[in-house]
Amino acid sequence: MSTATYTVSGMTCQHCVSAVTEEVSGLPGVTGVQVDLAGGGLTVTSDAPLDDDAVRAAVEEAGYEVAGR
């Protein structure tokens, strides 16, 4: 099992959290997604190491930006 943490910018409400969670959850191998609205944190657990570019693309698809890892 692998865990990766990212910082997401632009989230302002619970709908934002839901959108990011939905997009990232759809990535292959992802087993869990936790989003911290107040701190902008995104923690992703998966069966194997994640492709950072895929996570970044999923967050962007939801309408937000990965500010760092």
Q: What is the CATH number of the domain that holds 49?
A: 3.30.70.100
pLDDT digits (tens, 9 = 90+) for 17-26: 999 999 999 9
pTM equals 0.93
Average pLDDT over residues 12-16: 97
pLDDT per residue as tens digits for the range 42-54: 999 999 898 999 9
**Which range of residues forms the domain containing residue 46?**
2-68
Q: How many domains does the chain have?
A: 1
Buried b (16+ CB within 10 A) or exposed e, 18-44: ebbbebbeebeebeebebeeeebebeb
